Structure 1
Amino acid sequence: MSTTPTLPAPSAEKADAADLRGFGYEPELRRGIGSYASFAAGFSFVSILTTVFQLFAFGFSFGGPAFFWTWPLVFAGQFMVALNFAELAARYPLSGCIYQWSRRLAGAAVGWFAGWVMIIAQIATVAAAAIALQVVLPQIWSGFQLVGDDPTLTSTSGATNAVILGSILIAITTVINVIGVRLMAIVNSTGVTLEIIGVVAVIGLLLFHAERGPGVVFDTGGTGTGLAYVGPFLVSALMAAYVVVGFDSAGELSEETRDPRHTAPRTILRALAAAGIGGGLMLLVALMAAPSLTDGRLATEGLPYVLTSRLGETGGRILLIDVAIAVAVCTLAIQTAGSRMIFSMARDGVLPFSAALSKVPARTGTPVVPAVVVGVGAIAVLLVNIGQAALFTAITSVCIVMLYIAYALVTIPLLARRLKGWPAGEGGRSTERGGRLFALGRFGIVVNVLAVVYGIGMILNLGWPRQEVYDPAGTHWYLHYFSLLFVGGAVLLGGLVYLRYRARTRSLHLALPLAAQGEAAA
């Protein structure tokens, strides 16, 4: 399987360009992404090697081995969301998809805030993903611990070193994004291929070294029994909730993807399905192969401890190098998605400095300034928190809450539209390859309701102020309410920006293809 994207045939390129013009936009981004690269964009955002390695210790420390069950529950809920997104991706193949979908479903104001929340969330998520290097690199070589001698993320020296390593990584991914989408796709696809190989290797090798059976997932590890376990279980769900996001990245890159009506819906679902199966198996075999469930090391060192203890220093380090690659391409994919969201809103003239943010150099065919903005913003998030032992959980929790809010600003309006008959009036609309558009049919309302209920429940769960999540050391009262303060501040700032661009936002004309015009009239 080739991971190098090839240029589309002239006729296909013209057809995709004509489709985009039907929405009122001139093609500026370069279409260099094929089916595998589109899948890679979604899979690398989820990046189970990055996020499972990063958060395994957190989930285990709160829920014990039974925290495993948060994974299938979160995966099932997010798959309901992904099914809805796949249906929208087939009908609105546009960059900045969360913004574009929401404003077409619910109007200018809701769409603008969906895009704004998503931008803030993606910037925070770039920072959170880059932090994961601290979980991996010092385990590979102690020389990567540039500050102090305690590499754990919850220590002051570990958190400070995480900021340094993360900032260096973000600077590198920014350069790759600035150079162009072709280089980004090559790096990302290659990295995802190595990540998939690494996932298979981890599962196979740890299964071979298993010390206990799969029944370990019914052990709460002394964290509670019966109803007393509900609280720890809900906190440990942060791990799965953080991992299983970003599958919409294939939609974010629709204007750079060949045959996006056909490709994007499928790659959204494939990326999530692959991540769900692979991640679940990794959690299971890690619990089965861990040298001990009670010595405390799983709750502090997580999966790197399992790998190095079971596979030896050399074998463990080889796999950890693969994890470091996965962290890098994960950060790259999130930054790419964030830059497309900024570009999409800026070309509508609804963001500050829209002229600069919407400019696409003909030589690269990629939005340069938005990539720099996301990179600088993510590094700023890290630097503000330098030396804070709560850096890890605070940033991670906030970015998840913001992403779930942005998703809800799509799924809730979509449900309202479904109840009025959406999608109607599609007529003869088909994919670029002549097939039918992806559709949920009569199951649409049920799937949509499940997605909305799940999303609201997770927003409340993850945003709920808990000292053990946001301020485990009890050092600052404001960290306890960090999620509420951060989300409130982001919405307040967004409200001020929206007031400045309200007239422009409301005056936007939503150009729709003929089939969609019939739907809008309905």
Structure 2
Amino acid sequence: MSHTTPGSQPHLGHDPHRGEEVHLKRALGMSGLTLFGLAYLVPLTVFTTYGFATDLTGGRVALAYIVTLAAMLFTALSYGQMVRAYPVSGSAYTYTSRSFGPHAGFLAGWALLLDYVLLPMVNYAVIGLFIQAQWPSIPVWVGFLGSLALVTVLNIVGITTIDKANSIIIAIQAVFVVVFVALAIKTMATGSFDPGLPFTGDGGANGVGLGPVLAGAAVLCLSFLGFDAVSTMAEEAREPRRDIPRAILLVTVGGGVLFVILAWLAQVARPSTTFENVDSGATEVMTHIGGSTMALFFTAAYVAGAFGSALTSQASVTRILFAMGRDGVLPRPLGTLSDAWRTPVIAIALVSVISLAGLWLDLGLLFSIVSFGALMAFSVVNLSVIKHYWVDHPELRNVVTHLLLPLIGFGMTVWLWTSLSSRALVVGLIWVGVGALWLALITGGFRRRPPQVEFEG
């Protein structure tokens, strides 16, 4: 396996049906990458898990977000280091393959697939739930299937369409955030409030001790997948080595600070930690601070945000499937592009079919499983920085950026990973086991190296 050097470009392989090199369209600049990550992250995603996380942490959602942000910041720095070395599609799969070899890379990519495949499903599910919370006569499946169909079509049309849609979606959410902050402050001003409640808890079973906060922080990692999504767009960025590390940091810090503020305001403005429906508990917060009009505005803004997240998350997972299919570690048809749109249509269709399972799966379990895959991949990316820069390229060594910071990031992600629920750990480990069996099958019992993208010097 060869390594990249500054200025080298990946050899992307050939489309067996076209006999020519397969390249994604480089259409995204710094602003487009940042908007892509923010739309994937969804500024309003704090309300996706708000009811669930409030119950899990005993009202200490803001504190849990601070813990998660600290861990994600170190990991985001590691992603920035690795994308400078390998500015190609594939994210943790590519970084681990190049640093630890194709077998480890496959397993990292397989773990990452877990959260990427499930995240569109989560978005379709919450769209259906929040629409039903606002209009009870509309079944969950209507919003689920409607959003899935539209997202699939837009992904097939191409990334430039997604880039334009993200700008509108972010604008809608920005307006809502301003209104929410104003109404929450107004609600707090009309009566007494406890500003420390989001950090001290409600005193119940989950409102004391560090354990529930760590459990909540582990689940909330799914809120930060926007920075990983940015790294998957490396082959569609105009200046990947320069712009992607910057966009990753902007998305991580900006999103994390916003999550903390919104969670704090929601908890202080509505101190109760119980909801009629935990899955759509945020709707009860909106009704409390602004009545039915605010609840309606929230539903519109939230559905737009979840739709944007579904749009970008499906784009990201199909690029990962594209990279793995192109390498031959998954069926090769996944690594081909359509003649008309130059997008991975087969991979897009596969993700859409898998997402239908979200009509029957438990949402809380989905949250935890998505975080399992994310944390496992994040851990390996932190180690990849150490392997690539400190071990393989000693001439590039920097004790802070290439050893100390990634070690801290690794330790924090493992700490959160072990704080997930036992159900999530069992399901996640089963998924990894299936991946190991598939790897053994395609490599003749690990005797052969799985196919992978080679780099030109």
Instruction: Give your verdict on TM over 0.5.
Output: yes
Report the Cα distance in structure 2 between the residues aligned to 1:258 and 1:241, rounded to whole angstroms. Answer: 28
| 1: CA distance, partners of 2:212 / 2:205 | 8
Q: Check whether the contact 1:21–1:27 (CA below 8 A) recurs between aligned residues.
A: no
- 2:345 matched to which residue of 1? 368
1:313 Cα deviation from its structure 2 partner:
1.4
Q: Is the 8 Å Cα contact of residues 327 and 451 (structure 2) preserved in structure 1?
A: no
Q: Does 1:48 align with 2:25?
A: no
Whole-Å separation in 2 of the counterparts to 1:180 and 1:282: 33
Do 2:275 and 2:284's aligned partners in 1 also have CA atoms closer than 8 Å? Answer: no
3-state SS of the aligned residue for 1:65?
A: coil
After superposing the two structures, state which structure 1 stretch, 61-70 or 33-42, moved more. Answer: 61-70
> Does structure 1 residue 122 correspond to structure 2 residue 80?
no
2: distance between equivalents of 1:27 and 1:20? 17
Query: Within the alignment, does 1:510 sit opposite 2:454 as a pair?
Result: yes
Give the match's secondary structure for 1:308. Answer: helix
Corresponding residue for 1:29?
Answer: 24
Q: Give the alignment of 1:136-175 within 5 angstroms.
A: 136-144=130-138, 146=139, 161=140, 165-175=143-153
1:185 is aligned to: 163
SS of the counterpart of 2:343? Answer: coil
- Rounded Cα–Cα distance in structure 2 between residues aligned with 1:53 and 1:81: 24
Aligned pair partner of 1:339 in 283, 304, 318? 318
C-alpha change, 1:414 and 1:225, in structure 2 (3 Å) is same
Task: Quote the residue 1:215 is aligned against.
Answer: 196
| Counterpart in the other structure of 1:457 | 415
1:420 match: 391
Greater mean alpha carbon deviation, residues 368-377 or residues 191-200: 191-200
What aligned pairs does 1:22-101 form with structure 2 within 5 A after superposition?
A: 22-23=10-11, 26=21, 28-49=23-44, 51-101=45-95
Give the match for residue 398 of structure 1: 369
Q: Which structure 2 residues correspond to residues 196-211 of structure 1 after superposition, within 5 A?
A: 196-210=174-188, 211=191
Confirm or deny: 8 A CA contact 1:404 1:455 kept in the other structure: yes
SS of the residue corresponding to residue 229 of structure 1 reads coil
Does the CA contact (< 8 Å) of 2:24 and 2:342 recur in 1?
yes
C-alpha change, 1:325 and 1:497, in structure 2 (3 Å) is same
**CA distance 1:19–1:178, shift in 2 (3 Å):** farther
Provide the rounded CA distance (Å) in 2 between the counterparts of 1:266 and 1:326. 23
Shift of 1:336: 0.7
> Could you tell which deviates more after superposition, 203-212 or 243-252?
203-212
Change (3 A) 1:333 1:414: same
Secondary structure of residue in 2 paired with 1:293: coil
Structure 2, unaligned runs of 5 or more: 1-5, 14-20
Once residues 296 and 441 of structure 1 are traced to their aligned partners in structure 2, the CA distance between those partners, rounded to angstroms, is 48
Contact 2:49 2:279 in 1 (8 A): no
1:323 aligns with 2:302: yes
Matches within 5 A, 1:220-259: 220-224=201-205, 229-259=209-239
* Residue aligning to 2:380: 409
Distance 2:152 2:284 in 1: 31
Measured on the aligned residues, the alpha-carbon RMSD in Å equals 2.6
496-505 or 363-372, which moves further after superposition? 496-505
The corresponding residue for 1:11 is none
* Distance in 1, Cα, partners of 2:199 & 2:363: 28
For residues 128 and 87 of structure 1, do their structure 2 counterparts lie closer, same or farther at Cα, with a shift above 3 Å needed? Answer: same
Aligned to 2:18: none
Q: 1:442 to 1:172 in 2, by over 3 A?
A: same
Q: Is the 8 A contact 1:105 1:410 kept in 2?
A: no
- Structure 2 match to 1:357: 334
C-alpha distance in 2 between matches for 1:130 and 1:138: 13
Residue 512 of structure 1 and its aligned partner are, at CA, apart by: 4.8
Residue 257 of structure 2 corresponds to residue 277 of structure 1? yes
AA in 2 matched with 1:204: A
Structure 1 residues 38 and 294 mapped into 2: Cα distance closer, same or farther (>3 Å)?
closer
Partner of 2:299: helix, strand, or coil? helix
Q: Which moved more, 1:447-456 or 1:133-142?
A: 133-142
User: Contact 1:56–1:239 (CA<8 Å) still a contact in 2?
Assistant: no
Q: Say if 1:122 and 1:334, in contact at 8 Å, map to a contact too.
A: yes
Residue in structure 2 matched with residue 499 of structure 1 by the alignment = 440
How far apart are the structure 1 equivalents of 2:223 and 2:143? 21
Aligned residue for 1:517?
Answer: none
> What SS does structure 2 have at the residue aligned with 1:29?
coil
Offset of residue 77 of structure 1: 0.5
CA contact (8 A) 1:36 1:189 kept: no
Aligned: 1:176 with 2:154? yes
CA 1:508–1:382 in 2, change beyond 3 Å: closer, same or farther?
closer
8 Å Cα contact 1:86-1:265 kept in structure 2: yes
Work out which structure has the larger RCO, using CA pairs closer than 8 Å and 6 or more positions apart in sequence: 2
SS in 2 for 1:30: coil
Q: 1:423 to 1:260 in 2, by over 3 A?
A: farther
CA distance 1:70–1:251, change in 2 (3 Å): same
Alpha-carbon contact 2:10-2:456 (below 8 Å) kept: yes
Alpha-carbon spacing, 1:39–1:441, altered in 2? closer, same or farther (3 Å) = farther
1:237–1:24 CA distance, 2 compared to 1 (3 A): closer
With structure 1 as the length reference, what TM-score do the two structures score? 0.78
Please list every run of 5 or more consecutive structure 1 residues that lacks an aligned counterpart in the other structure.
1-17, 147-160, 426-438, 466-481, 514-522
Q: Which amino acid letter does the alignment assign opposite residue 338 of structure 2?
A: P
**1:307 pairs with 2:286:** yes
Q: In 1, Cα distance between the equivalents of 2:363 and 2:456? A: 43
**Aligned-partner Cα distance in 2 for 1:92–1:411:** 15
CA distance in 2, matches of 1:422, 1:200: 47
8 Å CA contact 2:218, 2:417 repeated in 1: no
In structure 1, what is the Cα distance between the partners aligned to 2:252 and 2:100?
26
Q: In the superposition, relative to structure 1, how do residues 448 and 238 fare at CA in structure 2: closer, same or farther (>3 Å)?
A: closer
State the Cα deviation string for residues 197-223 of structure 1 (Å, max 9, x = none): 322332233223224242222442122
C-alpha distance in 2 between matches for 1:362 and 1:258: 22
CA deviations 1:469-521 (Å, max 9, x no partner) are xxxxxxxxxxxxx32442233223222321233277446463254xxxxxxxx
C-alpha contact (below 8 Å) 2:152/2:349 kept by paired residues: yes
Distance in 2 between the 1:171 and 1:48 partners?
23
- How many equivalent pairs are there? 439
User: What is the identity, as a one-letter code, of the residue corresponding to 2:41?
Assistant: V
